[in-house]
Structure 1
Amino acid sequence: MEIHGLNDSFGELTTLISVPERGKYGNANYRGNYAGDVLGKLVSYLKRTGIQAPYIYDPMEGGKTSRDVCTALGLPYVGDDIHNGFDVVNDDFHDTGFDLTVLHYPYWNMIDYAADLPKHMQSMDMSRMDWKTFIAAVSHVNVKAAAHSRYVAVLVGDMVVKGKGYIKSIQREMAWIGAPVRHFTKVQHNAMSYRSSYKGNFIPVVTEHLLLFKTDYKPEGELWILVPGQYKKIDADNYVTWKNAIKHVTKGLEVITPEKVFERVKKQFPSKLRKTNTPEATVRRTLQELESEGFLRRKVRGFYERVS
């Protein structure tokens, strides 16, 4: 994909990656496989940093794209997968001192990777976990990779929640490890979902996230991570001021009085009333402030109208 105005001397890797053809690497029939040229671009970057023959690890190699790329480039490689009986969350990695660990997580709740496995192994499949358990597992594997590797590359997509219209984003909620070298946007080509029909005002997801981290692991065992996503319930009314609340409720009132405003606030912003011992006085005072600001105009005592 051409980027106008970009100096060619920067090389082939930019924060926008587009590989239209998946290429000769890996099993093309394995769902969720990624284009081998993506790993090739990362290897080229590592070589420019001085790592001439990077040692690569892929604990979820699936269709063996990473293995094929490393074989073609003559690079040392270790690969594993659930289909080899390997539990990426709980089992030990088979070596340490990797230059790059590649983590291409399963498409959560979209592809059943363990359907053809014996029942005692199906619980290892991360795509079968509930969302919070899945994110915790992803974060755990990220950290484990950072403890074994100089660089970690994480390739993940956003999943549209069926029937809801919004997404669940792995990269937003997972732990970030070490220093993020770059956050790449990778264009998805020829995805199976493109052949589907969707109802309503659907926005197709045509990109993935590739994050490259340089780990800051120290021999004494210290490692900094960032966990950006924490699930907690908040009181949304705490983020709405009395002025904005009253401005909002007056929109639907032909006659604006303290009593009518109080009843509307009681219905639409109930927690605001619980946080003051004098809610009626707060309403009256706020109406007076909105009058002085020119938002409201007093008609007679106790009656207001909006200033258009």
Structure 2
Amino acid sequence: MQIKGLNEEFGDLTTLISVPDRGPFGDSRYRGNYAGSVLGKLIFHLQKIGIKEPYVYDPMEGGKTSRDVCGYMNLPYVGADIHAGFDVVNDDFHDTGFDLTMLHYPYWNMIDYASDLPKHMQQLDMSRMSWKQFIAAVSHVNIKAAAHSRYVAVLVGDMVVKGKGYIRSIQREMAWIGVPVRHFTKLQHNAMSFRKSYRGSFIPVVTEHLLLFKTDYRPGGQLWILGSGQYHRIDADAYVTWKTAVKHVAKDLHHITPASVLNGIRTKFPVKLQKTQTPDATVRRTLQELEAEGFLNRAVRGVYELAS
């Protein structure tokens, strides 16, 4: 999909980003490197809203795409990386007052970025963390970036858990900071997965997420965040009303009576019985309500049948 903008090289932003050719920026041999025109599009957007020379920061520059783009556009830039001895989670950021911080996180549990580093640095590689540690680290870095920058861009993908059939989604679980300007869908054109053939029902991931946040950055200011998601178990039956439960049970009964319905509730919706001290009275009342609504007809006293 080609979208022409005011600038033919980088183009305007839309909520769908497609960059078939990664371009000349950054080291193409560095796995997980992103196309420079993604940053170029963000920079042109900031220039259109009045930030003529955006001050850009990339604390995980990897293959140095961000450095090359800002050099090409003659923009002030600071970059760092674990390969330069920088611990993005625990070390101080190099400056404050950035106009844009670009965050392109490691591909968790997929690419080993630190295998060529000394042991003490390998332990700092975010891609080696457990999932919960990784999400906590991502959220921490997002917040730290927002405390140093007017805008923060986060580029992340979804990871398929090997052999499980489901994904881990960074953007869903990480902390959202400030105000989300846009959530962009970025098409992947050169992923390693495209070089493989898959059997069965496997669904390849062919998109990434780019989120642009406007922060409340100002010296001495405060920052609003949307905290990361938390896993907790729920009882699905607790979200099913008595009417729905009784309807479901009644459909399978030849003789619909308070006793037979209550027995069905005990089998299919046991959580409902934990929420009332008078289950017999609750069932009788629900049957009467369903009769009044026309779902049931009373055959004889205490016996109901489904309305036709």
Calculate the TM-score normalised by the size of structure 2: 0.91
Separation in 2, partners of 1:201, 1:306: 41
Shift of 1:236: 2.5
Sort the Cα spacing of 1:230 and 1:57 in 2 relative to 1 into closer, same or farther, 3 A: same
Structure 2 match to 1:24: 24
Separation in 2, partners of 1:272, 1:105: 44
Sort the Cα spacing of 1:279 and 1:157 in 2 relative to 1 into closer, same or farther, 3 A: same
Sort the Cα spacing of 1:273 and 1:144 in 2 relative to 1 into closer, same or farther, 3 A: same
Structure 2 letter corresponding to 1:220: G
In structure 1, runs of 5+ residues without a counterpart are: none
Sort the Cα spacing of 1:2 and 1:303 in 2 relative to 1 into closer, same or farther, 3 A: farther
Structure 2 match to 1:136: 136
Asked if structure 1 preserves the Cα contact closer than 8 Å seen for 2:255 and 2:305, the reply is yes
Structure 1 letter corresponding to 2:106: P
Structure 1 match to 2:14: 14
Shift of 1:163: 3.0
Shift of 1:52: 2.2
Structure 2 letter corresponding to 1:27: D
214-223 or 296-305: bigger deviation: 296-305
Q: Deviations over 1:140-163 (max 9, x none)?
A: 101101111111111111222333
Separation in 2, partners of 1:228, 1:240: 27
Shift of 1:47: 1.5
Sequence identity of aligned pairs in percent?
Answer: 75
Structure 2 match to 1:118: 118
Secondary structure of the 1:135 match is helix
Alpha-carbon RMSD? 2.2
Structure 2 letter corresponding to 1:251: K
Separation in 2, partners of 1:128, 1:248: 48
Structure 1 letter corresponding to 2:33: N
Shift of 1:200: 3.5
Asked if structure 1 preserves the Cα contact closer than 8 Å seen for 2:56 and 2:98, the reply is yes
Counterparts of 1:1-308 in structure 2, within 5 Å, are 1-2=1-2, 12-227=12-227, 229-308=229-308
In structure 2, runs of 5+ residues without a counterpart are: none
Shift of 1:2: 4.5
Shift of 1:229: 2.0
Secondary structure of the 1:284 match is helix
Sort the Cα spacing of 1:256 and 1:9 in 2 relative to 1 into closer, same or farther, 3 A: farther
Separation in 1, partners of 2:160, 2:258: 45
Shift of 1:64: 1.2
Separation in 2, partners of 1:212, 1:243: 45
Sort the Cα spacing of 1:273 and 1:213 in 2 relative to 1 into closer, same or farther, 3 A: same
Separation in 1, partners of 2:82, 2:131: 19
178-187 or 288-297: bigger deviation: 288-297
Separation in 2, partners of 1:130, 1:202: 24
Structure 2 letter corresponding to 1:299: A
Separation in 2, partners of 1:33, 1:63: 6
Sort the Cα spacing of 1:255 and 1:203 in 2 relative to 1 into closer, same or farther, 3 A: farther
Shift of 1:207: 1.4
88-97 or 200-209: bigger deviation: 200-209
Structure 2 letter corresponding to 1:37: S
167-176 or 145-154: bigger deviation: 167-176
Shift of 1:8: 6.1
Shift of 1:92: 0.8
Sort the Cα spacing of 1:301 and 1:123 in 2 relative to 1 into closer, same or farther, 3 A: farther
Number of residues of Structure 1 aligned to a counterpart in Structure 2: 305
Calculate the TM-score normalised by the size of structure 1: 0.91
Sort the Cα spacing of 1:251 and 1:105 in 2 relative to 1 into closer, same or farther, 3 A: farther
Shift of 1:9: 6.9
Shift of 1:131: 2.1
Shift of 1:241: 0.5
Secondary structure of the 1:39 match is helix
Separation in 2, partners of 1:259, 1:199: 51
Shift of 1:63: 1.3
Q: Deviations over 1:196-229 (max 9, x none)?
A: 3344333332211111112112322411112252
Sort the Cα spacing of 1:98 and 1:284 in 2 relative to 1 into closer, same or farther, 3 A: same
